[in-house]
Amino acid sequence: MMACPRFPPVCEYDASARPRRTAAADLDGTLLVSSSAFPYYFLVALEAGSYLRALALLVTAPAILLLYVAFSEAAAIGILVFVTFAGLRARDVEAVARGVLPRHYAAGVRADTWAVFRGCDERRVVITASPAVMVREFVREFLGAEVAGTELETVSIAGEKRFTGRIEHVLVGERKKEVVERLFPSGDMPDVGLGDRESDHDFMAICKEAYMVPPDRRAPRAAADALLSRAIFHDGRLVRRPDPAHALFALAYLPVGFFLALFRVFFNLLIPVQFVRHTYRLTGINLVVRGTPPPAPRPGTPGGSLFVCNHRTALDPIIISIALGRPVTCVTYSVSRLSTAISPIRAVALTRDRKADAARMAALLEEGDVVVCPEGTTCREPFLLRFSALFAELTDRIVPVAVDAHQSTYYGSTARGWKWLDPYFFYMNPRPGYKVTFLPPLRSPEETCCSPRSSWSAVDVANHVQRVIAKELGFQCTALTRKDKYMKLAGNDGTVVNANKKFL
């Protein structure tokens, strides 16, 4: 019986020994710290499928693990794929692979193996047993590599491509070696091979040099800016990577959290706005307010303040109203009728006609305080999208407001899901929180453009407010827009035809 080849550990790799141009590496346990692909299957089952499919996958996970340990990796992957993918629409899975999975993959990239892999800058190939449809977007965009993964069978039903749950080719053991030989047909095998398990030995043995990656859950992760891309835009409801324990909590807590959210929403609706800050604490919501906002307009005095804030969730204007202790009006491009009906503040829909929207906002400002989120859409990461300059043309009574939301289990925002549920998902978190900082009002005419003495344009004002808020939050300014977000996550420009329907 032939002994298994022994490869040195990756810590013995010497980048200065000689130049390496090409590399082939496994993914889970090699380029990623964790060797378990279960969390990513779970995300596909939940986000492209349903709560029940995710629950079925979680229930069958122990049997799949036993099958993997006692029998074969290929058989375990076959069951995992069937439970996860059978009947799912291909476009739904592709949307999850594009908008949900990359952030979780990127957060788990192992620093030492990524340094080796990235150093082979002529050609990089990832050979993985995970379905190619799951990993392709992440590997190409964040690792700059080609992908060879397990291929899944599809069938066309009523003009839509769906997964059957069957595997065409599972890449384990000898098949990984065959793929590497096919990808390097000239016989010039990869300079470096990286793997973490025995099933990787076959393809590692034909590489010019190969290194084993020892298991280490505490291995340093690669910094976000060390990868070739950043996950500025992402979708999905789960905040944390759903390891089995967290996946169990997220599903088991969901019904409890939903009833808790209903209580938090409707109980606080009954409380006068000036007291809601206190009832928030009683219902487990942490609201931190800093800074000194301007006083409310006096009765009979026309003109309120324009509160300009960054956009974290759909609740931003409501939270600002609660922090102020008085009603305000918010302007928005898309809001469902249900959300409008139960909103504790007045919500006015804009039309995307610049002149009409400017006239409407100016009229609202004459009536009182107005809140606007000039990013036009939410961003979950510590970045600010480009601020629309329309607000700067309306008044010189501008108050920047920096807001940040704390969400530990569920995200209270989505690009593809039911948006009217966004506030409820925020309140479903065990201890949701908000921090609101009222910054000094802009000085007129130095920092506004409405005065004849001002030398700033509306764009200058918008960029200034963006920088002020970003500095307070420790965020980074970008020129990205709402359209960039929705093209990335949903494949459209974010325009809503009917706010009560699901984004597709």
**Residue 447 DSSP one-character state:** T
Side by side, which strands form the sheet with 398-406?
Answer: 286-290, 433-438, 398-406, 306-309, 370-372, 329-332, 346-349
CA-CA distance, 306 to 297, in Å (whole number)?
Answer: 12
- Spans of all domains in the chain: 20-226, 244-489
Containing 472, the helix (H) or strand (E) segment is helix 458-473
pLDDT of residue 180: 93
Q: How many residues does the chain have?
A: 504
pLDDT in tens, 151-160: 999 999 888 9
Q: Which residue has the tokens 């759903």?
A: 242
Mean pLDDT, each 10-residue run in order, the chain (504 residues): 68 89 95 95 96 96 88 88 96 95 96 95 94 96 95 91 90 87 88 92 93 93 94 95 95 96 93 92 95 84 89 94 94 70 81 87 92 94 95 93 97 88 95 97 87 86 96 96 90 53 27
| Contact partners, residue 35, CB within 8 Å, separation at least 6 | 28, 29, 196, 197, 215
CA-CA distance, 363 to 302, in Å (whole number)?
Answer: 10
**Side-chain-facing half-sphere of 70: CA atoms under 13 Å:** 6
| 366-377 b/e (C-beta count within 10 Å ≥ 16 → b) | eebbbbbbbbbb
**Residue 89 DSSP one-character state:** B
Containing 251, the helix (H) or strand (E) segment is helix 244-269
Give me the chain's average pLDDT, please: 90
pLDDT of residue 264: 95
Terminal Cα distance for the chain, rounded: 55
Task: Give the SS3 label for residue 462.
Answer: helix
Amino acid at 55: L
Closest residue by Cα to residue 408 from 272, 286, 266, 233: 286
Task: Give the SS3 label for residue 209.
Answer: strand
pLDDT of residue 498: 42
pLDDT of residue 348: 87
pLDDT of residue 499: 34
Question: What's the CATH superfamily of 20-226?
Answer: HAD superfamily/HAD-like (3.40.50.1000)
**Side-chain-facing half-sphere of 482: CA atoms under 13 Å:** 18
CA-CA distance, 266 to 261, in Å (whole number)?
Answer: 9
pLDDT of residue 497: 46
Angle CA 276–282–287, to nearest 5:
55
| 243-281 b/e (C-beta count within 10 Å ≥ 16 → b) | eeebbeebbebbeebeebbeebbeebeebebeebbebbe
pLDDT in tens, 266-288: 999 889 999 999 999 999 999 99
pLDDT in tens, 68-83: 878 888 889 999 999 9
| Contact partners, residue 501, CB within 8 Å, separation at least 6 | none
**Side-chain-facing half-sphere of 174: CA atoms under 13 Å:** 0
pLDDT of residue 342: 66
